[in-house]
Amino acid sequence: MADITLPPEDAPAPPPETPASSPPPPAPQRHDQLFLDFIVYRVDNTLFKLPSRYFHENSEVLAGASEISTTTGEGLSEDQPIDLPLPHDSDGDDFAELAKVIYALTIGLDPPSLSRHQWVSVLKLSTPWMFSDIRELAISRIHSSNPTFEEKVTLGRRYNVRSWVAEGLKGLSDTSNDLPPLQNLEALGSTTAMRLLYIRNFRTTRNVQQRSCGQVREDIERYGSYCSGCGSYADYHPCRADFLSVEDLFSDELA
């Protein structure tokens, strides 16, 4: 019978068998909303660190200012922020209100609850920077806050919201609405105030006279014609007040 040689007690154990190699795990995927690139802006000597995606994807004006410089690192840190110039008559507080909205929309949250004054700040910057969706949001929120007719005219002219201008002028020219204080009208401009007072006066003074002629209004709609009922020249007919419209007097900006 052959001798069996045992290994010495202190001999190392044989290496374990190597298992069959398994495929490497898949590379991790970035979350489409919650993996954010941030960029540092300096606005009015205040630093803001914000998600850059929204600036880059939604504003042609700021697309170039929403990328960190690959050569200088500008925008990467507080020491090297991107200096962001603001449009005329806006400041860092206005930018802060816009930033609140951008931050919420970037991560899929509802827009923040802001006051009318704050939404005006948002409108002030979203208009020149061409954030069209934020501009429409600001217009909607301001409109739902029931601005006065004077505010509609002022804001509509300033931020190019023509529907507000039309609504405001029509409301101010309507004699069923109270006439606002003179200083409020003057703030809209002397020409605007004069036209509004003219149309209100025309409608008021003609209102009583309208009953004096029973002629249908279609007979006097055309300029240069006379009313077959009372003989009045069309331009001075009592019913002409019905046809004197805001669109006529303000055709230069409502056409």
Residue keyed to tokens 């898949």: 26
Distance of alpha carbon 250 from alpha carbon 255, whole angstroms? 8
Residue type, 93: D
Distance of alpha carbon 240 from alpha carbon 234, whole angstroms? 7
The answer on pLDDT for 65 being more than 80 is no
Phi, psi of 199 (to 5 degrees): -70, -35
CB 107 within 8 A of CB 33: yes
The answer on pLDDT for 175 being more than 90 is no
What are the E-state strand segments in 120-181? none
Q: Where are the domains of the chain?
A: 38-146, 163-254
Average of pLDDT values for 85-108? 95
The answer on pLDDT for 209 being more than 90 is no
When pLDDT is cut at 50, 70 and 90, the band that residue 245 belongs to is: confident
pLDDT above 90 as % of the chain: 51
Name the pTM for this structure: 0.75
pLDDT above 70 as % of the chain: 76
If one compares 23 and 11, the residue with the highest pLDDT of the two is 23
The answer on pLDDT for 208 being more than 50 is no
CB 155 within 8 A of CB 142: yes
pLDDT in tens, 105-155: 998 899 999 999 999 999 999 999 999 999 999 999 999 999 999 999 999
What number of CA atoms fall less than 13 Å from residue 184's CA on the CB side?
A: 14
Of the listed ranges 11-20, 80-89, 132-141, 148-157, the one predicted with least confidence: 11-20
**pLDDT score, position 138:** 98
**pLDDT score, position 216:** 46
- pLDDT averaged over the chain? 84
Q: Which CATH number fits domain 38-146: 2.170.120, 3.30.450, 3.30.710, 3.30.420?
A: 3.30.710
The answer on pLDDT for 210 being more than 60 is no
**pLDDT score, position 162:** 95
Average of pLDDT values for 200-227? 58
